[in-house]
Structure formats: structure tokens, C-alpha cells
Chains A and B, each alone.
Chain A
Amino acid sequence: MTPLLEVAGLRKSFALVGPKTWAARLRGERPAVRAVDGVSFAIAKGETLGLVGESGCGKSTVARCLLRVIEPTSGSIRFAGEEITALDGRQLRNTRRAMQMVYQDPTAALNPRLNARRTIEEPLRLHFKMTSAERRERLNEVVAEVDLGADLVERYPHELSDGQRQRVNIARAIAAHPSLVVLDEPTSALDVSLRSRIILLFETLQKRLGLSYLFISHDVATVKYLAHRVAVMYLGVIVEEADSASLFAAPHHPYTRALLSSVPAPDPDFRGERLMLHGEIPSPTNTYAGCRLQNRCPLAQAGCAEPVPWREVAPGHHVLCHLA
């Protein structure tokens, strides 16, 4: 069965401009930041793929490319069997109905001049021909799904609490019956006691509506809870991909191991394995021969400067590493 979303060889470079690059450009080079450098993954219907990584890894850029907010430099994105990188106009709008996004900052993602009702009804206005009464009915349905009080729909964003605003965002995303929702750090800006509630909401919505999620987050624990499969990104590439249980039980890539071991566990007696990378995340403008982690990896060897193989170390578990 074809997956709902298939991404292959996605690349996005941002050209560097400015005085420092003139010398290079005169030489004929085109200095650029390769924010996403060959990313491939697939999401099946009703499945959640978690995309984990730290700042600068390119996960947000992947999301923006998927939704065509920015244009990929190269690569293919097939959604429901159709190649969407070349679409525009009406066809792109149709795709946008089916592929939605929930943003990180619930306040910034809402137009301060529109109340909740108008915000949530907008996708309905844009994609369907509905009468005012039909829209109202759908609005009530959606508002009930996300557990937002019906009496709150006339309020403006500044009159709602953080959790309520995020629910409005979620309601807007599911109003037009999408099949895939990209969740870009949806709980990072929320209080701890709200987070679990929103995560459970996502879980419920997935079960009831058959949604697929691309769940982007730096909060590894949340990803573990919600995702069926997880991909770890570093400096524009996926370094490891596996189903959730395998990845957390037996991480292979040194970066994954370092990342997981850095997450502070809420258990004072926890003595997990601690793998430390030296240095800090390097500048994304560098180009790489071989493995991007070489300069920081405690297990690095001479052979790591060669192009890195994408190996399957266990069924469904792939790693981008010489040592796997």
C-alpha cells in the first residue's frame, strides 16, 4: 500500500549573500547553507513519524518545504501518490487542504484581529462551498473534538489562555479534514501540565480521525510517547531511523546515543550510559567529506572521511554510520 507521504532526496540550500562571500563568488563558487541535504522518509496513513534533532539540524526547514512555504532546491515529495513539488495555484490549494500544520508559538500563529470562530472557519471558507449554517455546524464539531468550550469561539486570541490558543490552532488544522498534520514543536511553548494534555489530545485525534503526523520536536520524551517511528536529524541529514521502541531501546548512531543520554531523566537514580560529543554544533555552512559528526564523535576513525553508507542494522532500523 502506498504511503501517504513519500519524501525522497529532499534538499534545500539557502544562498549566502553579503560582503564576506564576494571573494568566493568571484571565484565562481556559490556559498550556501545546506540546511537540508538529502532527506528521505515515508509516512503511512494513521502513522506518526517523529523528527528529532537540535537547533540547526534542518527539521523545521523540512516542514516548511513539505508545506511549500519555501521551495525545495531539489528532491521529490509525493503526497497521496501525487508529486507536489511542481504544483501551484488551485492544485496546491487542494493539497494544502489535506496537509496542515500546527505551529510552535500558539500566540504568534493566530491573527490578533480574528476571533477564534473566524480563524477556525477560514479553511472551510477556502476549501468548501458551505452555507453559513453548515460552517457553524462543522465549527461546533471541531471545537468539541479539541475540547475547547463552545462559549470561547467569539473570543480574540488575547482573551484566551495559552492552552486554549493552541486548541484553536489545532481546530484550525483539522477543520477541513486533512490527512496529514505537521506538528512543529506544538508543546514547547506550553506549560508542563498543559503539555501532557495536548499530547493526549493529539493521540485521541489520531485514533478518531485517522490522521498521520509528522511530529517535529527537540523534546525526545514526547516524541517517544507519540511517534510510531522516529528519525534523528543532524546537520541536514537523517542519521538514524527506526520504529520508536527499537530506537530508544537500542540506538546505534553515536549522535543518537549522545542525544538520548543528554536528556535528563526524572529519576535521580538513573545511571544511563553517557556518550559525550566534544565541541559544539559546527556552522552549517561547512561542506563535508564523509560523516558530518567526525569532528565531534568520540568513536571517529580515519575511515569516517569516506562517504557514509545507509545501513540496515535491524529490520526497519537504518543508520548512517561507518561503524554500524
Chain B
Amino acid sequence: MTIDIARAAYADAPAATDTAFASFRRRLLRNKLSCVAFCTIVLLVVIAILAPWIAPFDPNEPDANAVLQPPSWAHVLGTDAYGRDELSRIIIASRVDLLVPFVSTLLALLIGSLIGALSGFRGGWVDQIVMRIVDAVMAFPAFVLAMGLTAAIGSSITNLILVIAVTQVPVYLRQLRAEMLREREMEYAQAAQTVGNPTWRIVFIHLFPNCFTPLIVQATLAMGYAVLTLAALSYIGLGIQPPDSEWGEMISEGASLMVTGQWWLSLFPGIAILVTVLIFNLVGDGLRDLLDPRMRGK
């Protein structure tokens, strides 16, 4: 109660404002953790792009002399059963492990939010049909659905992207629909109508941007999930096929060898996944703050 009063007491006086850039930069720098995470992502992307030139060895080149070597100066993260350098494989795998989750999440985000927005705004039987379809899709556990679809259509990179996207679409769809249901009742939505906006402008220029921010956070979290889904699919053999490297698939290969003491084959790809998922989550938090215009003045 007292906080409301305090807020009301100084809310009346209009706040001073900086230029958009200065305020953006100030807020960016304020959240140190997200900043670090963001830089790490940039670093990962750079590594992924430059992978072929950064990798110390050819990731697919077997070396009969250096089979199952533990981490050493020559092979920093050890070698696998074929003598291939772990570090190089992890670096090369980062391409797939960043590309597929990113593209599939983006795809799911766009498709899901678009349909969710239209469905939520329109309401009526269109909305009902869409929601029943979403219910049906969500009735499957996401991973089971992914497995089924991959088994059906094959596991090329494109197909994997599509499959993972499909499992994620319902989440964004529902979330944006919920936001839209609330937002369309707002007075400014009515004002947009009475001012003379055609429906598409009301939905996409006025309402959609105000619904979208929560989805950004959701998407960064989901990207972590997408990495895990891809890794899990590859682990059971449905995802990226050998000899192409992918972190989950590498964990799978190394799993059986753990018993005989070759711990480095599963551990390092596992750490790679952990770090990637973690920094996506941290960036999500930071992005949400950045995108809220109400935080501009603070």
C-alpha cells in the first residue's frame, strides 16, 4: 500500500528522457550478467562460423595412432575411438548445434505467433478450431512427437529444423494468443479502431508488438530446449547421423566407453550443451528488460 502511494506521489511529474541510444546503452550495460552472456553467444557464433579454420585437426580425419587418448597437450580434449580430435569435433559440431535450434526456434516463433495473433484477435469458431488442433499436438509429449516425425520424414538438417519447430509452435501460439486476448480489450486497441485503422494495422502495428515481448524470453529459453531436443534425438540415433558431429551424438558415442574409463568423450560435449543452454537463458532475461519501453526512463 505504501509503495503504491510512493509511486503515485512521484508518478505525476513527467520524467526527463535521454536520447534513445543513450538509454539503450545504459540499460544494456546495467545487467552485467546478461552482458557477459550476450558476449559469449557472439563468441560462440564466431567460433561456429570460423570452425573449419579454427579447429586444430580435421574433425573427420581418423588417426589410428591416437585412438582413445585422454586430454593432453597434443589433443586438448582427447580423441575418440577413431582417433579423431575431440576439440575439433566439438568446434565443428557447434555449427549444427547452434544453427538448428536457432532456425527452428525462429521458425516456430514466427509461425506460432502469427497464427496465435490472428486466432486470438479473431476469436469465434476460427479460434476454437485452431485451439483444438493445438490441443491435439500438445497431447503428445514433445519429444515423442519429435521422435515420431523424425522417424517418418528422415533426419536431414532441414527436416530436423522443421520437426523441432513443429514441436515448439504450440507454445508460442498459445502464449501470443493469451496476450492478444488481453491486449485487444485495451482501450488503445479501441482507439486504434476509431481513429480509422484497418484491422491488419490494429493487429500487427498496434497489438502485436505489445504482445511480443514475453515471447522473446520464452524463445531464448526454448532455444535451450531445442539444443537438448536435437542432442537427445541424435543420442538415440534419430538426429544427426555419423560421421557428422553433433554434441548429443558425441555423448552417445562416449556413453558406452564411460564404463571403461574414457570419461572425456561424453563430458566435454555435455559441458558444451550446458554452457549453451545457460547463456541463452541469461540473454533472455536481459533482452526482456531491454525491450520494454517502460523501462526506458529508468
Interface residues of A (CB under 8 A from B): 67, 69, 93, 96-97, 100-101, 103-105, 108-113, 122-123, 126-127, 152, 154-156, 158-162, 164, 169, 172, 176
Q: Which residue in chain B gives the minimum CB-CB distance to A149?
A: B14
- List the B side residues contacting A67 at CB < 8 Å: 194
Partner of A100, one of B15, B17, B195: B195
A-B contact count (CB 8 A): 74
Q: With A105-B187, A109-B188, A113-B209 known to touch, is A159 a contact of B195 (CB < 8 Å)?
A: no
Q: Is the CB of A123 within 8 A of B195?
A: yes
Q: Is the CB of B191 within 8 A of A109?
A: yes
Q: Is the CB of B187 within 8 A of A103?
A: yes
| Distance in angstroms between the alpha carbons of A113 and B196 in the assembled complex | 19
Q: Is the CB of B187 within 8 A of A156?
A: no
Q: Is the CB of B195 within 8 A of A156?
A: no
| Distance in angstroms between the alpha carbons of A188 and B292 in the assembled complex | 29
Q: Is the CB of B210 within 8 A of A113?
A: yes
Residue-wise interface mask of B (1-32) relative to A, using a CB-CB cutoff of 8 A (1 in contact, 0 not): 00000000000111101000000000000000
B280-298: which have CB < 8 Å to A?
293-294, 296-297
Is B198 in contact with chain A by the CB < 8 A criterion? yes
- List the B side residues contacting A100 at CB < 8 Å: 194-195
Q: Is the CB of A111 within 8 A of B192?
A: yes
Q: With A111-B206, A162-B12 known to touch, is A122 a contact of B195 (CB < 8 Å)?
A: yes
Q: Is the CB of B188 within 8 A of A126?
A: no
- List the B side residues contacting A162 at CB < 8 Å: 12
Q: Is the CB of B196 within 8 A of A103?
A: no
Given contacts A69-B190, A69-B194, A158-B294, 15 further A-B contacts (CB under 8 A): A93-B196, A101-B191, A103-B187, A103-B190, A103-B191, A109-B191, A110-B188, A111-B210, A112-B188, A113-B210, A123-B195, A159-B14, A159-B296, A161-B12, A169-B191
Q: Is the CB of A126 within 8 A of B195?
A: yes
Q: Is the CB of A112 within 8 A of B194?
A: no
- List the A side residues contacting B209 at CB < 8 Å: 113
- List the B side residues contacting A103 at CB < 8 Å: 187, 190-191
- List the A side residues contacting B197 at CB < 8 Å: 122, 126
- List the A side residues contacting B192 at CB < 8 Å: 111, 122
Q: Which residue in chain B gives the minimum CB-CB distance to A92?
A: B196
Q: Is the CB of A155 within 8 A of B293?
A: no
Is B129 in contact with chain A by the CB < 8 A criterion? no
Q: Which residue in chain B gives the minimum CB-CB distance to A106?
A: B187
Q: Is the CB of B187 within 8 A of A96?
A: no
Is B193 in contact with chain A by the CB < 8 A criterion? yes
Q: Which residue in chain B gives the minimum CB-CB distance to A156?
A: B293
Q: Which residue in chain A gives the minimum CB-CB distance to B292?
A: A112
| Distance in angstroms between the alpha carbons of A176 and B196 in the assembled complex | 10
Q: Is the CB of A159 within 8 A of B13?
A: no
Partner of B196, one of A112, A123, A169: A123
Q: Is the CB of B195 within 8 A of A164?
A: no
- List the B side residues contacting A109 at CB < 8 Å: 187-188, 190-191
Q: Is the CB of B188 within 8 A of A111?
A: yes
Q: Is the CB of B194 within 8 A of A101?
A: yes
Partner of B13, one of A96, A110, A161: A161
| Distance in angstroms between the alpha carbons of A108 and B15 in the assembled complex | 19
Q: With A108-B186, A108-B188, A111-B188 known to touch, is A172 a contact of B195 (CB < 8 Å)?
A: yes
- List the B side residues contacting A161 at CB < 8 Å: 12-14
Q: Is the CB of A96 within 8 A of B196?
A: yes
23 A-B interface contacts by CB (under 8 A): A69-B190, A96-B195, A96-B196, A100-B195, A103-B190, A108-B186, A109-B190, A110-B191, A111-B188, A111-B192, A111-B206, A111-B210, A112-B293, A113-B210, A122-B192, A123-B195, A156-B17, A158-B293, A159-B17, A159-B297, A161-B12, A162-B12, A169-B191
